[in-house]
Amino acid sequence: MKKKVFTRILSLVLAAALLCSLPMFAQAAVSTGSAGGSTRWAYDSSARTLTFTGSGSTGDYRWSSSAAGKCTYMSALMKSRTVAVKEGITRLGDSFLANGGNSISSVSLPQSLREIGPFAFMGTRKLKSITIPAGVRKIDHGAFAQSGIADVYFEGTRAQWDAIDKAPNASFAPGVDGLKNAAIHFLGDTPYPGTPFTDINSHWGREAIKWAYGEKLFSGVSGTEFGPEGRMDRGMLVTVLHRLAGEPAPQSGHAFTDVPKGMYYEKAVAWAFENGIVNGEGGSRFGPDGKITREQAAKILYGYAVKYGKDVSIRPGALSGFSDQEKISSWAQEAMAWAVSHGVLNGSGGKLNPGGTASRAEVAQIFYNSRALLA
């Protein structure tokens, strides 16, 4: 009985989608629209990609809805192959992709996602796999009804998956839900290939972290966790650079009163100081526990490049394209220009964020970017 009901619903969905799409073929393509609240969608016809930005819910698109702009959205949806939901979105609305999403083969979801609404992926038969963020707390009824998903990659653990509020006898009911035969892969219980870390499977810096771990530049914060978003301090950064250099023994001591004997970074700081790679923070202090900033990281790596005869050329106007270049400290101008010239540092949104603290993943990426330059 349930199967007949859902088949009938799907037929209504497809019929509604067809009626909405008919007038659109004769009109100019509509590339953007409001999804309600502070959320918007945009359709790129050349890439056949539908993108959601903003915050909150993507909006509800139930087939019985008469929401303004529904037909233009459905027309774009039916032509889309890829759907990208950006950070800030916390909920996929009612019938999010159900109204005509039969051509969609790829969907990316943000870490901010907390809820998958009813019938969100209903009828997406060409969508064979999906990655669900660990932060999802609710999957509503019929969310994956009659979808084609064969593999679900859940970024959390099995225990986290079991704790998700899943609508009973609906979202995962045999004969109704497309996930009834899907394989669930728990990425939070599985180390990223080539590492022992279970917390980087979906992280943007996973390949850089894998490389840095393989080169023995970084270790984890535990046996199974890298801690990619943990802050990097000055002592850690100099230690990683010392490892990159092959851990040469320092020939003399250092003058820093806040670098105790026996600390893991003591030899690295002494080596960096005697080679002019670091100068400290003044007043005989190095500040080993201070959080490293992006411009400080550039300065230290630039000092290493100078000392070891690496390429220190600077491209003219390297900093001119960044709106916050005036925020770069005077002592870091040359180093930042060098870092940008060689792709050691990359900006985001037209900014370099020189004073921003760098995470462990960001520092791993910096070393990864400079692996050939500093080799």
Over residues 108-160, the pLDDT tens digits come to 999 999 999 998 998 898 999 999 999 999 999 888 888 889 999 999 999 99
Coil, strand, or helix at residue 53? strand
pLDDT of 272:
93
Lowest mean pLDDT among 30-34, 137-141, 162-166: 30-34
pLDDT of 69:
61
CA distance to 194, 199, 311, 353, 362, per residue, from 227 (Å): 16, 7, 32, 22, 11
Q: What is the dihedral angle through the alpha carbons of 193, 241, 357, 351, rounded to the nearest 10 degrees?
A: -90
Contact 217, 208 (CB under 8 A): no
Rounded Cα gap, residues 30 and 42, in angstroms: 9
Q: How confident is the model at residue 31 (pLDDT cuts 50, 70, 90)?
A: low
Contact 189, 156 (CB under 8 A): no
Rounded Cα gap, residues 316 and 313, in angstroms: 10
Contact 135, 112 (CB under 8 A): yes
| 8: pLDDT strictly greater than 50 | no
CATH level 2 (architecture), domain 2-189? Alpha-Beta Horseshoe (3.80)
Which residues share a beta bridge with 145? 177
> In Å, how far from its chain's centre is CA 152?
18
The dihedral built from the CA positions of residue 357, 362, 367 and 373, taken in this order, carries a sign that is negative
Average pLDDT, the chain: 85
* pTM over the 0.75 mark: no
Domain boundaries, given as residue ranges, for the chain: 2-189, 206-369
Length reported for the chain: 375
